[in-house]
Amino acid sequence: MNLETVKYEKKDSVVLITFNRPEVRNAFNAKMTEDILEALVEAKNDSNIRAIVLTGEGLSFSAGADLSARDNKWSDTEAALIEGYLPSLKEIMEMPKPVISAVNGAAAGIGSAYAMACDLTVMSEEAYILQAFSNIGLIPDGGANWFLTNTVGYKLAYQIAIEGERIDAKRCLELGLVNKVVAGENLLAEAISWADKLSLRSSQSLSLTKKIMRKSVDSSYEDIYDLEAKTQNTLTGSEDNIEGITAFMEKRQPNFK
């Protein structure tokens, strides 16, 4: 990989992917959209990697789009969103492995979309999410409207979007935008420890649960029920299923493949 704006560090069965433009608070330029996609695809295709942690170097997770960048290769904003950001955001959401965002500071604009796209989120006490688009006559993007509405409901999502105020870590936890809030010095250790624990669980269970839950957002109860039944039938009697039952009967930890 030829990564200039993202760091990729393997830690046993976990990979730590870090936005690495701290001089601009990890704001996105065109190269960073390419690098994060390349890193995510590498993690997906590496059979030894079972969980991913996404964070930012320095003081911020990501301050959003870098408005001063000079490497813009897209014809307009729509092209940038569709061709630049969407592929990596979809890679996170469709990744067959759990992705944990470790939000170490500001997650603003498109940066907040990357934090919210992840399956699980740990946030430092000093961190916050910010949708400042209304301050400059724009709307939230990167799917932030969808993430917010599906997490906190329409009224709160609309309020967050139009008021453009910082949503601090405590409030994010109350709203269900994050799973855990920890002291800043413990953030990475907590996120990696969580990823390590998940890596010991059945990968087929984690992957297929993620797939079905993602689909459930815009599907009916009956459709999800039917998909659960079909999926469960294929998993019953599988190697992981047998190992899990055997481990339970033998009162030991399962050794999933």
Rg, Å, the chain Cα set: 19
CATH superfamily of 6-199: 2-enoyl-CoA Hydratase; Chain A, domain 1 (3.90.226.10)
| pLDDT of 75 | 84
Residue boundaries of the structural domains of the chain = 6-199, 203-249
Distance (Å, whole) CA 4 – CA 35: 7
pLDDT digits (tens, 9 = 90+) for 217-254: 999 999 999 999 999 999 999 999 999 999 999 999 99
- For residues 145 and 158, the answer to whether their CB atoms sit within 8 Å is no
Calculate the alpha carbon distances from 68 to 24, 47, 63, 210, 239 in Å: 10, 38, 12, 37, 52
Strands 128-130 and 167-168: antiparallel
| pLDDT of 235 | 96
| pLDDT of 195 | 98
| pLDDT of 72 | 77
Residue tagged 């009697």 (tokens)? 237
| pLDDT of 73 | 82
Please state the pTM of the whole predicted model: 0.95
Low-confidence ranges of the chain (pLDDT < 50): none
Beta bridge partners of 123: 103, 181
